[in-house]
Structure formats: C-alpha cells, structure tokens
Structure 1
Amino acid sequence: MMHMSHHTEGTTMTKAPRSSEAGRVIPLREAPQRGMSAPRIRTKPDMGSIEERYGGRSFRATWRANGRRENRSFTTYEEARDFLNAMAINIRQGGVPIAVSKSRTRFEDFARHWLACETKDRSKKESILKNHLVPAFGRKPIGQITRREVQDWINRVQRDAAVECEVCDALQTELGDDDARCRRHKGRKPPSPRSIKDHYVMLSQVMRAAEREGYLLNGCPVGKGLHTFPDVDKRMVILNDYQADHLLEVAAEQFPAELAMVHLDSHTGLRLGELVALSREQYDGSSLLIDRAFKRSGIVGKTKTGRVRCVTLDDCCKRVLNEHLAGLDPEQRLIFPAVGGGMLIPTNWRKRVWYPLVEAAGLGHMGLHIHDLRHTHCSNLLAAGWEVTAVAERLGHASTKMTLDVYAHPLAGRQAALLAEKGLRPQAPGL
C-alpha cells in the first residue's frame, strides 16, 4: 500500500495505513464489519442490482417481487448477473419475478394447482402425477429440484423397467403362459419407453409453468443437456385396400358380433373411446353425433379435443350398423355394450377381439393397432381428394395443421406406391 505525504508548514506528515487493533494491515477491499455498508457494483444487469460483499467473496442479487424485496447470494458476480438477466428474459416472455418463498412450495402442491387449470387429457395426467411424479418429487420443494435429480430419476426408471421386462420375459418363457407378465404386476406392465417419455414430458410442463410463475430459484431443471430419449414414436401403419377388406372378411367369419364395431371404425375413423361411448341417441339413421368419449379413468366425458362433430355414414356402413342394432336388446342404450351389458372396457376388447383378429388376418407382423384404422381412413380421404378442412372436421382434429403434420408423409409414400404400381415415377415440380 502506498503512503501519502503532506507538507504543512515545513513539517512532513505521513498518513498511516488502516490497521486493526492488533496492528494488522486491513486491505481496502476486506470484508466489511458489522454496521458498515458494502460498495455497490456500478455495472447493473437487466433488472435489479448486485451488491459486492465480504471483499468480493460474495455477491448479493436484489430484486422486487410481489411488492417485496427479494435477494439471493452468489459466489461470483457473473452468476448473480446471469440469474437476474434470465429472470428479466422470463418476465419479457410473460413470466413473473421469482419469489424466494414460492420456491419452498412442495412439488405435489404446485403440480396439483397446475393440473386444475388443464383441460386436455386430465385423466391421463392425473394418473401420471399420482403414480410416477409424486412418488419421485412430491414432498420436495419445487425450487430445490436440480437437473442431476431429474437425470437420476430418468436413468433409474429406465433401468428398473428394463430389468422387469427381462424378468417377465424369462417367466413367460419358463411357464409358457402369456398371462404370466400380467399376474406378476397384478395387471400392470412395467412402463414402456414411450410411457417414460410421456412422464418426462409432463414433468417438463409442470417445471416450465413453475418457471413462468416465479417458483424456480435455481432455474428450470429440464430441457437441453438431459438424457436424450430414443426414438420411441410408433410407426404409423396404413392399410391398403386389400388388407382392409381382408380384415373385415375375417371379422365377419370369426368375430361376427364385433364386425359392426370394426367396420364402423374403418369407415369413420372414430377413436376407440368414442366408439365405446356411442349410444342410440347419437345415431339418427344417417350420421353420428360425436360429443362424448370413454376416458382412461373409467368415466364418459368430452372428446379428446372437446369438440362436437357430426360424422356422416355411407350406405354400407348404415346397413351394417342397422343390422347390429336390430340384434340388440331394445332397452340397451349403448351401441357397443360389453358381454354383460355394461360399458365396454377398451383394454379387454383389444385382448379379447382385436389382437386375435389381427393374427387371424395375417397382419400380426405389422404391429397393427386399432388406431391404425383411423390413420387408414384419413389417408384414404386425403388420397381421394378431400379438402384438409373437411378431413380435420370429420376426424375431430384440433386444427388442419395437425392433419397435415401427421398425414403428409404417409400420404406422400402412398402416392409414390400408387405411381409405382402403374409404372410411373414421381417427378420434381416444374418438370
């Protein structure tokens, strides 16, 4: 430290360095004592301010949230600056300032608050929250969930599911019993890769909402940098005319009681939950009014998109449906009731009817699902020249964009196959 000398009336006075009571020299940037104010950093972030404390060993970021003064300490100035700048970006995108008290809210409490505002797939999200997310993060403060904890949870779930699948496959092979897997899990299978991805997607939705509402003190723990999920999206299966007709022929021979349901699905593209919930009041002899659907929770509610639509039937479909209704009890209000007369359970119907039907038709190698009849119907309509708006309205899509995004690639492949059958090749536009 440099000494400063002052000359006064011929005498030399030297200003002594600052020292403690023990004679130790105190640096100018040493930690302030109690009652002393710390210097302010002149360079400010986009919002709030940063205060240097304890000789540069700590930096306190200060901002206002809900009319209250909030602060948080960091070890470096850059961390404090990045924290405030990220909060400013979140506010510009419609979020709110972070409140430290909010970050102590339990994950389960905020997730249920978020779920109460959701309208799409409520029953599915309630099941994921109850059975998967709450056991993993329920009692933990939402602001303390880190990226490492999320990554460990993903790894653990995937590892446990893989082990359970190996055990079930070995048990099924040893006993020669197809139901061994279900009995081991009391009717519930280990989560598939697609299900695990759905669980992570819902966790991401909850954490993004918490970030927008100012609950996350340490930033959002989901997003880029986490485990990359494999491509688990199911390949869409589009049946050609021969395969679709053959499937209906086998249904008429081996499952005559279920022919009307399979025929109606292949000619209208209704979702399975909408088929199960159909009642006589929805059929006027020429069209179906689709305003309800069977949900995963076992209740009948709104359709997937919440929209009401009218689906017109062709002559063949009306004939098959009228013959089916003529064979039912007049007091039965459901069009496709269960064997005992109550509501048909989709899971049981797939196991009892659909999977044996697909195998009998020789289509088991394709991995055909009942929903693929809906894909086939939509593809046929687009290939026949229907306008996208009409197809989206008939199938109950939320928008025409969804129709184009889902079916543009399969339709292009089908057009190429049709051209190949005629000995033609698709040409580039303008040729």
Structure 2
Amino acid sequence: MATIRKRVRKDGTASYQVRWLQGGRGGTWEAERFEDVEQADAFKKLVDAHKQQWPYGWVPGQGFVEPEQNPDDVLLTDWARRYVDRLTGIDLRTRDDYRREVDRHISLMVHTNRSGLVMPATIGNITADDVQDWVRLQEAGQPDAKAGRWVRRPASPKSTANRHGLLWCIVQAAIDADPPLRTKNCCANTRLPRVDDGTSEEMVFLEQEEYQLLRKCLLDPAARDLADWLIGTGMRWGEATALQVQDLRLGGPVPTANVQRAWKRSPRGAQSSFFLGPPKTKKARRLVALAPTQVDLAQKLTHGMPSDAFVFRTPTGKAWRHANFYNRKWIPAVAAAMETGLPRQPRIHDLRHTHVAWLVAANIPLPAIQARLGHESIQTTIDRYGHLVRALDSDISAAVQAAMGGQPPSDRGLRLVGA
C-alpha cells in the first residue's frame, strides 16, 4: 500500500510525499509531492485503487490533465443540431421531434473532468461516465422546491432508451466524420433502465369475449367498423385510416389490402396537423391478407365509392382523426365496458397487440406475424410478443421429464455447500 511521508522545510512549512512500489512488491519506487495532506491522502487512495499504479490520466507533477482539445471540437448541442438537420430519409415531423429531443434533453448533458470540475459538453470531451450521469438524470427527473411538483419529470425507460439511441447516432457521426472528432463511441456500453421494470404490462391483450363486450359499447357503427378492422388486420391506426378504395383487392383466392401510405403528423406550426406519407418503415409497405369477414366489411364500406375515397370515414364522410375517435368514441366505450365487467383498460393500439395475441394462440409462427405487422426486424416481434408463445410448453415439459428418466426430480447425489 502507498504511504504518506511528511517533509518539513527549513522555513517550517511542510509538504507531503506519497510513495509506493510501482506494481507492488518487486517494483520500483515512485513518488508524488503535495502541499496539502488531504490532497496527498486522496491521491494515496487513488494509487491503492489502481493496484499501486499511476492513476489513469494522471501526469506526474501536474495531476489529471484533460486530453488536448481537437481544434474542430464543437458544443454537443451544436453538433447534435447539425446532425439532425442533415439527416435524410425522415419526414418533417420526425426531424422536428429530434430537434426537440436535442433541445430539451440532450442539452442537459455536461462533462465532468477527473478533478470533479463540471464544464460544457462538447462532442469531443463527453465520456461514458457523462453519458451514465445523463441517463440517471433522465431516470430520476428534477423535483421542484414545491412539494409534489417537478421541474423535469422522470422519463420512462422507453423514452430514455429512445433518447440514448439518438445520442448514440450523434456521437457515431462524429467518429465517422472526416476528419474524425473522436475515436470511440461513449454510448456503447451504457446501462439503461429496464423497460419491463414495472409491475404491470404496458400492452393489453383482450380475450375474444372481452372485445365483444367493448364492441357493443361502440355505439357508432362507423367507429365499430374501424375497430373491427384494426383488431382483425393488426394494422396501425395511421395505416388503416389512410386506406383508400384503390388499395383493396377483394377478388381472387387471397383478398388483400395494400398498405402503402399512412397519416403523419405535420411539423409544429404547419397549417394542417396531418398529411399522408409513406408507412413507418420499408417493411411496413405490405399486403395484408383479409379474412372473409374483412372482405364483407370492405365491400359494404366501398360500394359505389371512387378509387381515391377513404375506406373508413366518419358519419359525415370525412377521414377519421385520432383525437376525434379517441375522445368521442373510444373513451366513452371503454368506460361503459368497464362498468359492465371489462377487467382491462385498453388503448386503441392494443387492438393491434390483441390481434397478435390471437395469432400466437393459433400457433402462427413469429416470422409470419412479423411480415403481417410490417415490423422491420424479427427481433422487434420477438421482444414484444415472444413471451406469448406457449405452444411448445407441453413438449418442453415432456422433454425435461424424459431426460430425467420419467421420474420426479430428487436430491440424491446433491448436498448443501458446507454440509
């Protein structure tokens, strides 16, 4: 272990020398001098923590020295805005949302150097520790001095993960820049809050009788038709309400609906709140096979309508808006259904989740479900719905029983540690 030696000068002042064998017994003697005993003790603890080595980043006689700053280094928020503004392949609303994430959340990051000094974050100086501190800030929020209020509310694990993903891309762009602004992505090994830390599931899955109870409470036939379509096809709200007559192929051996557009939110300040754009991802462009009940519904709704007419329309003949459906149709129906025995409070998007649960219960393979839902990756399907796959439970139990010789497990041949 390192030791501290006090040295008294001729003028009566003292200095403190920390001495240690570099690497432990058998190494060479190293020393560092301090004018303050508390600083010497802090350094001694660092040497011991580094197993009798010079602390990483410590320069003898100078202390912790920050690496020389890249002359092209810029503030993190400035680089992040530059990155977002140069992204291609995203719609205007997504770019607007990214800018808001940068200004409201990524801008909170600061850099703390090894001596504890807090300074503005740049794209070149942020470290893995800075990122972890920022994640903790997202998780904890910032309470107000007034009880029960927040300056900044705690972020959900999903929101934190989404913001961290954006930050990862921003930092990676600095690595890929010419010339590079840094050599390592400090977001690579961040420990994020678990998305499933809650005690209740985020998704709601309805049994068939539960949906029928909810359906009866949707008193508007147009709203009921749309709910039937959502739960019967698994389409997203923005996809189903953007369907036009020309997207349907109701004849032939396999009737289909062609998902090729979806409603998008306009950037803030635009005259119109929504516009028609491409689906969420490339694989969201897909053909969805229709069951006979959906074919009958589509024929009823589109008979005599022009090709560019929307399949699902309000009683006044206009395209559905989410807020209108949610506030005037969905919320009253859910409340009425819960008063008559519905044990869950589903969201509109839970009709899509319920559709998947019904397919899983019918032993439809997850890759087929991925294609039907338009998930970009099979991993998304597995992460969200893999826990529902129970079809092989009996086979797994039988395999375990066979491996154990058909006998119940026993403790023969086992003993407690220390017994």
Q: TM-score, normalised by structure 1?
A: 0.58
Counterpart for residue 293 of structure 1 = 262
Query: Take 1:330 and 1:389, find their aligned partners in 2: how far apart are those partners?
Result: 35
Counterpart for residue 50 of structure 1 = none
Match of 1:100 among 70, 85, 109: 70
Query: Take 2:69 and 2:188, find their aligned partners in 1: how far apart are those partners?
Result: 20
- Deviation, structure 1 residue 338: 5.0
- Deviation, structure 1 residue 258: 0.6
Counterpart for residue 88 of structure 1 = none
Name the SS for the 1:103 alignment partner: coil
* Structure possessing the higher radius of gyration over alpha carbons: 1
Query: Take 1:99 and 1:163, find their aligned partners in 2: how far apart are those partners?
Result: 38
Alignment of 1:366-385 (within 5 A): 366-385=344-363
Name the SS for the 2:204 alignment partner: coil
Query: Take 1:303 and 1:369, find their aligned partners in 2: how far apart are those partners?
Result: 21
Match of 1:198 among 134, 155, 162: 162
Query: Take 2:160 and 2:143, find their aligned partners in 1: how far apart are those partners?
Result: 9
Alignment of 1:11-410 (within 5 A): 75-76=58-59, 100-104=70-74, 107-113=77-83, 116-117=86-87, 119=89, 125-135=94-104, 141-145=122-126, 147-148=129-130, 151=133, 155=137, 159-160=141-142, 166=148, 193=156, 194-213=158-177, 214-216=180-182, 220=186, 223-224=189-190, 231=197, 235-251=202-218, 254-285=219-250, 286-297=255-266, 298-307=274-283, 308-326=285-303, 333-337=309-313, 342-362=318-338, 366-410=344-388
- Report if aligned partners of 1:354, 1:370 keep a CA contact under 8 Å in 2: yes
Q: Provide, for residues 111-130 of structure 1, a one-character-per-residue CA deviation record: whole Å limited to 9, x for no partner.
A: 443564464x7556424432
- Deviation, structure 1 residue 265: 0.7
Which sits farther off after the overlay, 364-373 or 222-231? 222-231
Could you say which structure has the higher helix fraction? 1
- Report if aligned partners of 2:138, 2:154 keep a CA contact under 8 Å in 1: no
Query: Take 2:125 and 2:279, find their aligned partners in 1: how far apart are those partners?
Result: 37
Q: Report the AA paired with residue 170 of structure 2.
A: V
- Deviation, structure 1 residue 161: 7.8
- Deviation, structure 1 residue 281: 1.4
**Cα distance, 1:99–1:274 mapped onto 2, change above 3 Å:** farther
Size of the alignment, in residue pairs?
312
Unaligned runs of 5+ in 1: 1-73, 85-97, 169-188, 420-424
- Report if aligned partners of 2:70, 2:181 keep a CA contact under 8 Å in 1: yes
Cα RMSD (Å): 4.5
Q: Provide, for residues 352-393 of structure 1, a one-character-per-residue CA deviation record: whole Å limited to 9, x for no partner.
A: 222222222227752412222212222222332334333222
